[in-house]
Amino acid sequence: MLRLVLQRLLALVPLLFIVSVLTFSFTSLLPSDPVDLILGDNGTQEQYEMLRERLGLNEPLVSRYLDWLGKAVQGDLGSSFFNSVSVTGAVMQRLPVTLSLTAMSALIAIIVGVAAGVAAALRPQSWVDRVATIGATFGQAVPNFWFGLILVAIFAVNLRWFPAIGFTPLLESPWQWLRSVTLPSLALGLSSSAAVARQVRSAMVGVLQQDYIRAARAQGLSARRIIIRHALTNAMVPVVAIMSFQITVLLGGALIVEQVFAINGLGTLAIAAVRQQDIPMLQGLVLVMVGLVVSVQLITDILYGLLNPKARPS
């Protein structure tokens, strides 16, 4: 297992390097000039040249990239063009908000998806199976931001069970944190639970037809033990792969759902950076998001190796 982790870590180095090159190149090729956006129409030519020199925009692209990469390796992603705020500090301040929302959404997706998938697999072609299939289809078809608006209208505006907007840090008040992330997490997690339920049902139906399951039943093992210890454990191998993809989807969806619930996470920071064309902020956000996705893939490979010994390197 240690060899598997080392192999995956070594493979990440060229990947992150390529991502950094593409990110820096694409953001540097934006059609508008950040200096024009900062100074507007009232700036003089002297102010224009001074600002370009201060921001380092008069340097060649390769020199700017090498300077940015050297600082990024040390954890310094530069400063915003518009308010001189540290990109690293701004991202790290918003990152726990987005991560907590994504983690809660993933938990909901796993719990609801696995429960629905197992229930459908145990009674194939029954009304339970049909209800789970219809629910999964509906969950995958409904946009999460629209579903979030419906949840706000019902549970926040009418029933007043949860706050409609805002986010409370976990360390400040665990109860208020749970109330603030419930609705956005449901808006995100239920759509992903549909994909998980489909995969769990398909995997469980196949596993329940295997010979070792018949042997376990012949030995008199309880249905609960057979399902949990034998069938579900083996059925979770392909589910790990689909859940890895769904967590990546949740990270992207969280950036949109944050707008619906007025949560100051990476989503609001990214939209503000796009509107202002704040190049250092965009570069830092893309790099951090890629790092999160790569970390999820690494954890997935480790879990897959634990569940499936054949996936481990010999």
For 40-78, what is each residue's pLDDT tens digit? 667 666 767 777 677 667 677 787 788 878 888 888 887
What pLDDT does 305 receive? 67
Q: Mean pLDDT in the chain?
A: 78
- Residues 122-126 have a mean pLDDT of 75
Q: 294 lies in a domain?
A: no
Give the CATH number, domain containing residue 147. 1.10.3720.10
pLDDT tens-digit profile of 263-296? 888 888 888 887 777 778 888 888 888 888 888 8
pLDDT tens-digit profile of 4-43? 667 667 777 777 788 788 877 776 666 666 666 666 667 6
pTM of the model: 0.77
What pLDDT does 34 receive? 67
pLDDT at residue 313 is higher than 60? no
Please provide the DSSP assignment of the chain as one string.
-HHHHHHHHHHHHHHHHHHHHHHHHHHHT-SS-HHHHHHTTS--HHHHHHHHHHHTTTS-HHHHHHHHHHHHHTT---B-TTT--BHHHHHHHHHHHHHHHHHHHHHHHHHHHHHHHHHHHHSTTSHHHHHHHHHHHHHHHS-HHHHHHHHIIIIIIIS--S-SS----TTT-HHHHHHHHHHHHHHHHHHHHHHHHHHHHHHHHHHTTSHHHHHHHHTT--HHHIIIIIIIHHHHHHHHHHHHHHHHHHHHHHHHHHHHTT--SHHHHHHHHHHHT-HHHHHHHHHHHHHHHHHHHHHHHHHHHHH-GGGS--
State the burial class of residue 223 (Cβ atoms within 10 Å of its Cβ: 0-12, 13-18, 19+).
Answer: exposed
Q: 31 lies in a domain?
A: no
Instruction: Residue 199: give the domain boundaries.
Output: 96-276
Higher pLDDT, 183 or 72: 183
Q: 208 lies in a domain?
A: yes
Q: 8 lies in a domain?
A: no
Q: CA distances (Å), 6 to each of 3, 18, 247, 268, in order? A: 5, 20, 23, 35
What pLDDT does 203 receive? 78
What pLDDT does 100 receive? 87
Domain count, the chain: 1
Quickly state the pLDDT bin for 113 (edges 50, 70, 90).
Answer: confident
Question: How many other CB atoms are there within 10 angstroms of residue 71's CB atom?
Answer: 13
Q: 69 lies in a domain?
A: no
What pLDDT does 46 receive? 73
Q: 12 lies in a domain?
A: no
Q: 233 lies in a domain?
A: yes
Q: 159 lies in a domain?
A: yes
Q: Which residue has the tokens 């049909």?
A: 130
Q: Chain centroid to CA 108: how far?
A: 14
